[in-house]
Chains A and B, each alone.
Chain A
Amino acid sequence: MSIVAATDAQVAGNGPARIGIPHIVLVAALVLYPLVASDFFLTQIGGYSLIWGLLGLSLMLLAGYGGMVSLAQITVAGIAAYAVAILGHNNTSVLGFGWPWWITVIVAVGLASIASALIGAISVRTEGIYTIMITLAIATAFFYFTNQNYALFNGHSGFAGIAAPAFWGVNWRDPVPFYYLCLFVAAVCYAAVLYGAQSTFGLTLRAIRDNPRRMRALGYDVTAHKIFAWLLSGVVAGLSGVLLVWFNGRVSPGTVGVGPAINVLVVAVVGGLRHPIGPFLGAVVFVLLQVFAIDLVGAERFNTLIGLVFLVIVFVSPDGILGLWERAKPHLAQKSLRSEI
């Protein structure tokens, strides 16, 4: 279980020191990014990475702080995406109740988090490696169900023609507004996870991850804490599902298939599960590989490439890119010392 082991530095101080200078630089860079990026880099890479980063974040929250590795995050996101398609507008002329966007989003995220809590309630009955098996079975079953069921999920073809709404005089479908929308949601979720990790609940959750037995003996309701973590992770995953369906404009069983389910784990593990920034790093690497795989190995063999990257990361650095950085730091420091001598 070394992947989800603890390194949780305490954040102390106030003002800029409390937020951390790297964070300020990062936010500035991301806010200014549209000035230099083309529409393609803005949406297909910027926005898409942020969405996948959010998905990874929902897993990181569970796996990093709670020690529960789930493969059903895409299912939770998919439930939100399907809810947006069914309750809002779509041009498949199946269902599509045409509710206002904000009610749709609230209901979609609510449904996703309830679904996530239910998945949690099913899987917390067992521990460790069993969680992966059960959530994978749930994700696969959901994929087959959406594929078979025409009454609710419109079967194999799913729903198309779902668009981000236009409000406050802004068409959120356009590249720049959509990028800022993704950035805003991602930043809020990131900050919330970072803050939540230091809260009483976050500390309790981490303690449960490290020693559930002792926490139970101390009188904590371990199951309730875990299920609440699933609920929170469902909110993040649900938000990313809403953004994902607005980004793609469509949702089908392929969106919630086993491939994407595994990709969420790949993104989170490649980035690193120790810090909320990890999944976003992983998402950038994942999306860049996906976009430029066509030049490296041809578009057809993208899965081989990402699978090999994943294998190498798991073998070489269990903590992902973050772990590589952590390991490189002392070496770099030593080198500078040596050069001074």
Chain B
Amino acid sequence: MSVSDGSVTRAGITRAGGLTWRQSWLLVALLAIAVLAWMALAIWPAWLNHILLSKKAFVSAILNGLTLAGLYFIVASGFTLVFGLMRNVNLAHGSLYLLGAYIGYEVATRTGYWLIGVAAGFLVLAVVGVAMQVLVFRRLEGDDLRQTLVTLGISIVAADLMLAVWGGTTYQISPPLWLEGAVKTPFLLAVRSNGAAVYLPYPFFRLVVLAIAIVIGLGLWLMLNRTRIGMMIRSGVDDSAMLSASGVNVHAVFAVVFAVGAGLAGFAGVIGGSVLSVAPGEDIRYLLASLVVVIVGGMGSITGAAIGALLIGLAEQISLIYFPTYGIVLTFVIMVATLAVRPQGIMGKVR
């Protein structure tokens, strides 16, 4: 780094505009970080408030966007794993999310322990995932279009049966007391006339959701890159026939991935049902989110899912504040722009 910094200053003196791409990108990045740091820490002048409504609205939108991105990431990471390994677009993924949310609600309200609800959401859906893999996908192996159609059929039936059981009402899973309340964030909003600084308060639970998403992301990354099963999954993504030929029980690997993917969807359902709410139609919403996140981020890539989730989550929350009736258009534009530049997604590989 120090060498390149030195060359920047020398280059600046001896030959103007002689920066390499890398150096100019570094400068732009530093500048952007400086601007963002100033925006986060300083009290905004009137003109900036005029453009962006208010610091409170803007920073809240960013934080909400990050929380939502965390939720989208948990849902979409399962989707992208299953897709990457099995070439199987599980269009019932949204239904798994919603089922997880309902199960979490039932278990949490009956036992009174939120954590048991979260665990139940994960475990039950992991079992459902394995059942789907064994009963449905194994029978239609190698026929990806039919597999996709079957998941579509399952999602129709599942949505209707869930409507029959839980009705059209909106549920809210109540998070435990220790997760409630707001915390002060280091974002300075104003300084009162008596000198007291006003900081932006933000719900603690949402920050926890963001932390959970980061932990899950790191966990998945470690599992994929540092464990034996992760190695099998990665090689399965690249060439499952070869993996099978080298003596690995590919079906067992598929089952594990499906269990993790479906379990994460159910887990996200319980979390999402606690932060937001549970209602019919949410399955479609999260299916759309997963689809767009995975299309933008690249199929089969966890890093891509994280990038895609960040883009979509932030776009959704920022547009909610600045141009609410055209919010979905921004999401759509991001998707189309990605497809135009990189049809395989930001982190996707060309197959």
Chain A contact residues, CB within 8 Å of chain B: 1-4, 69, 122, 125-126, 128-130, 132-134, 136-138, 140-141, 144-145, 148-151, 258-259, 262, 265-266, 269, 300-304, 306-308, 310-311, 314-315, 318
Contacts and interface: CB of A to CB of B under 8 A. Distances in A.
A300 B146 CA distance: 27
B150 A303 contact: no
Given A304-B160, A307-B154, A311-B157, 4 more contacts: A122-B340, A132-B89, A140-B288, A141-B328
Given A140-B288, A306-B156, A132 B148 contact: yes
Nearest to B88: A129
A133 B157 contact: no
B326 interface: yes
Contact of A149 (B139, B154, B326): B326
B339 interface: yes
13 contacts: A3-B145, A134-B335, A137-B295, A137-B335, A138-B332, A140-B284, A149-B326, A150-B325, A300-B164, A308-B157, A310-B149, A311-B150, A311-B157
Contacts of B150: 311, 314-315
B190 interface: no
Interface of B: 87, 89, 91, 139-140, 143-146, 148-150, 152-157, 159-161, 164, 284, 287-288, 291-292, 294-295, 299, 324-329, 331-332, 335-336, 339-340, 343-344
A314 B156 contact: no
B157 A262 contact: no
B145 A133 contact: no
B149 A265 contact: yes
B164 A136 contact: no
A303 B328 contact: no
A273 to B, nearest CB: 10
A318 B142 CA distance: 14
Contacts, number: 124
Contacts of A318: 143, 146
Nearest to A303: B160
Contact of B288 (A132, A141, A304): A141
Contacts of A133: 89, 291, 294-295
Contacts of B87: 129
B325 A134 contact: no
B343 A141 contact: no
A301 B324 CA distance: 35
B288 A137 contact: yes
Contacts of A144: 288, 328
A300 B150 CA distance: 22
Contacts of B324: 148
Contacts of B288: 136-137, 140-141, 144
By Cβ-Cβ distance, the 7 closest A-B pairs, closest first, are A307-B156, A307-B157, A303-B160, A311-B153, A125-B343, A140-B288, A144-B328
Contacts of B344: 126
A311 B157 CA distance: 9
Contacts of A122: 336, 339-340
A300 B160 CA distance: 9
Contacts of A138: 332
Contacts of A136: 91, 287-288, 291
B327 A304 contact: no
B339 A128 contact: no
Given A125-B339, A304-B161, A314 B326 contact: no
> Which of B161, B294, B325, B326 has the largest count of A CB atoms less than 10 A from its CB?
B325
Contacts of A145: 326, 328-329, 332
B25 to A, nearest CB: 27
A303 B161 CA distance: 9
Given A137-B291, A306-B156, A307-B160, A129 B325 contact: no
Contacts of B91: 132, 136
Which of B149, B150, B294, B329 has the most CB atoms of chain A within a 10 A radius of its CB? B149
A148 B325 contact: yes
Contacts of B327: 148
Contacts of B149: 3, 265, 269, 310, 314
Nearest to A315: B150
Nearest to A136: B291
Contacts of A4: 145
